Amino acid sequence: MKKSLSLLLTLCASLLLASQVHAQKFDELGKTPQMGWNSWNKFGCNINEQLIRETADAMVKTGMKEAGYQYVNIDDCWHGERDALGNPQPNAERFPSGMKALADYVHSKGLKLGIYSDVGDKTCGGHFGSRGHEYQDAKTYADWGIDYVKYDWCNAKGLNPEGAYSTMRDAIKASGRPMLFSMCEWGDNKPWEWAGNISHSWRTTGDIYLCWDCEFGHGSWSSWGVLRILDKQSGLRKYSGPGHWNDMDMLEVGNGLTEAEDRSHFSIWAIMDSPLISGNDLRKMTESARKILTNKDVIAINQDSLGVQALRVMGGGKVEVYVKPLANDEWAVMFLNRADEASRFEFKWADHYINDDLSSRVLEASKTQYTWLDLWSKAKGTTAQNFNQVIPAHDVVIYRLTPKK
């Protein structure tokens, strides 16, 4: 009798344990939006270890590393074939030294290496995905010294998204190596509602397209310009925060937008707390693109410890106004000219009472006067003077407001 009771107790205890086997993600990662570079936007499948090494070198040389960029991420098409035991292997022609040697090189520069896989049996580019190999893949990535896993949603074939992404989250945790988990599910199944404990960021939209305001159709799916992606963030800010960010996709800065558009694109991604993953050729970028990507004042808005995404307070016209509460009672304020022509815009600070329910913060310049710094021109002033400027087409003005002592 005693024996069967203890057997029953053991059984209950194991059942209880089994229900808790879901690991947590690595909580110490992604406390501010991740910053780095990814190969896809500029190079697509045209990648090899030399590009990754040279990019790591360039990240240091251009001041990107110093500005806070950390991850060098290899996207789709690094793959060879699985070996006889099913272990993933890189393409031997394009990555002849192997991933471990590449990770060692990137680490020797004080940077981190990221890799890409997919929930399905094939990636979007048609290479092997991780379906059925999740634990094996995560363990191999850990052995290679990988620090970041981007996990795509092609060929999901009826998979339950929460289940598929939790499995990889658990596999990463079980590998024992802290790897940032970046979900790339395009917002199809509203990941913001269920992925807070699964990943460090989730894509909110389909892929970015190199244009200011367009939709580029690919048949069953579309890519989106800068403004289109911005507009798709509506209603999502409450889901974003330290450790779990709304990802607006990799940056197109330096890939062919105008300078004003690059500036706006970067300011928008920064104030919206999106991960800042550059997607240009760091080895050959223009001084203008370099200056935009390394603007420390704009980056500081994105990396602010409060981690509250911006709120749109005026929209519908040519110029939109976004505000973002920052730590220490500061604010970021962005005036964005969406129009194809220069637009004069006046904003009387004292006329606005901006109440942000999410952060329980109020911006009321009639009560608290602020000094401001223009994060692009570096001009300074106070909210005692109204904002009254002509903003060039597709350009932006972004301020940091500090309560006046």
Going from the C-alpha of 37 to that of each of 322, 332, 397, the distances in angstroms are 26, 25, 25
Nearest-angstrom CA–CA distance, 159 and 137: 18
Q: Does 152 bind ligand GLA (CB under 6 A)?
A: yes
Q: How far is the CB of 364 from ligand GLA (least distance, A)?
A: 41
In sequence order, which ranges of 176-295 are alpha helices (DSSP H)?
226-231, 259-271, 287-293
Q: How far is the CB of 164 from ligand GLA (least distance, A)?
A: 15
- Please pick, from the candidates 63, 98, 125, 242, the single residue that binds ligand GLA as defined by CB under 6 A: 125
**Is 185 near ligand GLA (CB under 6 A)?**
no
Q: The tokens 């209880």 sit on which residue?
A: 16
Question: Would you say 150 or 263 has its CB closer to ligand GLA?
Answer: 150
Q: Which of 75, 247, 304, 320 binds ligand GLA (CB under 6 A)?
A: 75
Other CB atoms within 10 Å distance of the CB of residue 386? 12
Instruction: Check if 395 is active-site.
Output: no
Interface region with ligand GLA, contact rule CB under 6 A, candidates 96-104, 122-130, 166-174, 325-333: 122-130
Q: Does 40 bind ligand GLA (CB under 6 A)?
A: yes
Of the ranges 119-127, 133-141, 191-199, 318-326, which one interacts with ligand GLA (CB under 6 A)?
A: 119-127
170 binding ligand GLA? (CB under 6 A): no
From the CB of 130, what's the least distance to ligand GLA, in Å? 14
**CA 350 – CA 363 distance, rounded (Å):** 10
Q: CB of 182 within 8 A of CB of 247? A: yes
Active-site choice (76, 137, 147, 207): 207
Residue among 184, 211, 227, 332 that touches ligand GLA (CB under 6 A) = 184
For position 229 contacting ligand GLA by CB under 6 A, the verdict is no
CA–CA gap between residue 114 and residue 384 (Å, rounded): 47
Spatial distance between the Cα atoms of 136 and 311, rounded to a whole number of angstroms: 42
47 belongs to the binding site for ligand GLA (CB under 6 A): no
The three-state DSSP-derived secondary structure of 342-373 is CEEEEECHHHCEEEECCCCEEEECCCCCEEEE
Range list of H helices, 62-160: 64-67, 98-108, 134-144
Query: Contact 38/73 with Cβ under 8 angstroms?
Result: yes
Q: Which stretch binds ligand GLA (CB under 6 A): 118-126, 313-321, 322-330, 357-365?
A: 118-126
| Euclidean distance between CA atoms 247 and 239, whole angstroms | 11
Among 26, 65, 76, 199, binds ligand GLA (CB under 6 A): 76
Q: Are 134 and 179 in contact (CB under 8 A)?
A: no
What are the strands, taking DSSP E only, across 153-297? 180-184, 201-203, 215-217, 222-224, 245-247, 276-278
Residue 248 binds ligand GLA (CB under 6 A): no
Taking the least distance from each CB to ligand GLA, the nearer of 256 and 381 is: 256
Does 80 interact with ligand GLA (rule: CB under 6 A)?
A: no
The residue within the footprint of ligand GLA, chosen from 35, 51, 124, 276 (CB under 6 A), is 124
**CA atoms of 164 and 171, how far apart (whole Å):** 11
Q: Is the dihedral of CA 260, 261, 264, 270 positive or negative?
A: negative
Nearest to ligand GLA of 40, 376 (CB atom): 40
Which one of the listed residues 75, 76, 137, 152 is annotated catalytic?
Answer: 152
Distance CA 202, CA 31 (A): 14
Query: Under rule CB under 6 A, how many of the chain's residues touch ligand GLA?
Result: 9
Reading the block at residue 31, the tokens are 């406390």
Q: Is 247 in the site for ligand GLA (CB under 6 A)?
A: no
148 in contact with ligand GLA (CB under 6 A): no
Of 134, 147, 207, 356, the one binding ligand GLA (CB under 6 A) is: 207
Choices 121-129, 141-149, 330-338, 380-388 (CB under 6 A): range interacting with ligand GLA = 121-129
Specify whether 152 is catalytic: yes
Q: Is 241 in the site for ligand GLA (CB under 6 A)?
A: no
Closer to ligand GLA at the Cβ: 39 or 62?
39
Q: Which residues of the chain form contacts with ligand GLA (CB under 6 A)?
A: 40, 75-76, 123-125, 152, 184, 207
Catalytic residues: 152, 207
